[in-house]
Amino acid sequence: VFQSMLDHWAIGQPFPIMPIARLTEHPSRRGVLVDITCDSDGKVSQYISALDDNRFLPVHPLNESERYFMGFFLMGAYEDIMGDAHNLFGRVSEAHIYADADEPQRFWIEKIIPGTAVQDMLAQVQYFPNDLQRRMSELVRAKIQAGVVRPSVGMEILDQYMACFQQSTYCGPTGGLDP
C-alpha cells in the first residue's frame, strides 16, 4: 500500500480510499489500513470521509468466500514513479475506470495495466530468472537422484517455482488484477 502512497506517510497527504466492492451495500464497519514494511509509520491514519471521525475507513463486514477490493484514487505520476521499486514490490496493477450512467453497471473499464511480475523485479536487481530457474532445476534433480525427493514431488516443486516468476510481486488470490 505505502510504496504507492509516498506522500501519505511522508507528509500526511490524504488520498481518497474506498471499497469498490459491494457498492450497493452501506458499509457498516470501520477499519484502518496498515502496512507491513519496516520503513513507514505502519498505517493510514487519516481518511477523506463524510463521517465525523476521519481516523477510520467505512468498510463492509468481510465474507471469507468473496474477494474485497479497495480503490486508491488521485494518486499521480509522482507517487507512481517514486514508489516503483520500493521494497522490491514494483508497480501495482492499475485499472482505468470511468463512470457512465448509460452503462449497465454505471461504469466501464478502459484498460487494465498489470503490475510488475516477480521475474521483472528480480532482473532489475541483477537476479536473472533463467539463471535462478536453472540452478533450482539442478538442485531438485540432484535431490531426486540422491533419493531425497520422489520424482513426482520434485517436478511439482519445479513447476510451482517456475510459475512464481510470472506472478505479481504483490500477494493476493490471483497476484493482481485479472485482465
Question: Does one domain contain both 69 and 9?
Answer: yes
Report yes or no on 110 lying in a domain.
no
Question: Does one domain contain both 76 and 6?
Answer: yes
Domain count, the chain: 2
Report yes or no on 100 lying in a domain.
no
> For 45-97, what is each residue's pLDDT tens digit?
778 877 778 889 899 999 999 989 888 777 665 555 555 565 677 777 888 89
Question: Does one domain contain both 66 and 138?
Answer: no
Last residue of a domain, one of 83, 110, 134: 83
Structural domain range at position 143: 120-164
Question: Does one domain contain both 75 and 125?
Answer: no
How would you classify the pairing of strands 29-31 and 17-19? unpaired
Last residue of a domain, one of 83, 108, 136: 83
pTM of the model: 0.51
pLDDT in tens for each of the 179 residues of the chain? Answer: 455 565 555 556 677 888 988 999 999 999 988 866 655 556 777 788 777 788 898 999 999 999 898 887 776 655 555 555 656 777 778 888 999 999 998 899 999 988 889 999 888 888 899 999 999 999 999 999 999 999 999 999 999 999 999 988 877 655 444 44
Structure confidence at residue 175 (pLDDT): 45
Q: Which CATH number characterizes residue 59's domain?
A: 2.40.37.10
Q: Reduced to 3 states, what is the DSSP secondary structure of residue 19?
A: strand
Q: What one-character DSSP code corresponds to residue 4?
A: G
Q: Are residues 57 and 73 in contact, defined by beta-carbon separation less than 8 angstroms?
A: no
Report yes or no on 170 lying in a domain.
no
How would you classify the pairing of strands 57-59 and 29-31? antiparallel
Question: Does one domain contain both 6 and 79?
Answer: yes
| Residues 87, 90, 96, 97, CA torsion sign | negative
Report yes or no on 61 lying in a domain.
yes
Question: Does one domain contain both 15 and 79?
Answer: yes
Last residue of a domain, one of 68, 83, 98: 83
Report yes or no on 17 lying in a domain.
yes
Report yes or no on 135 lying in a domain.
yes
Report yes or no on 93 lying in a domain.
no
Report yes or no on 138 lying in a domain.
yes
Q: What one-character DSSP code corresponds to residue 69?
A: -
Question: Does one domain contain both 63 and 124?
Answer: no
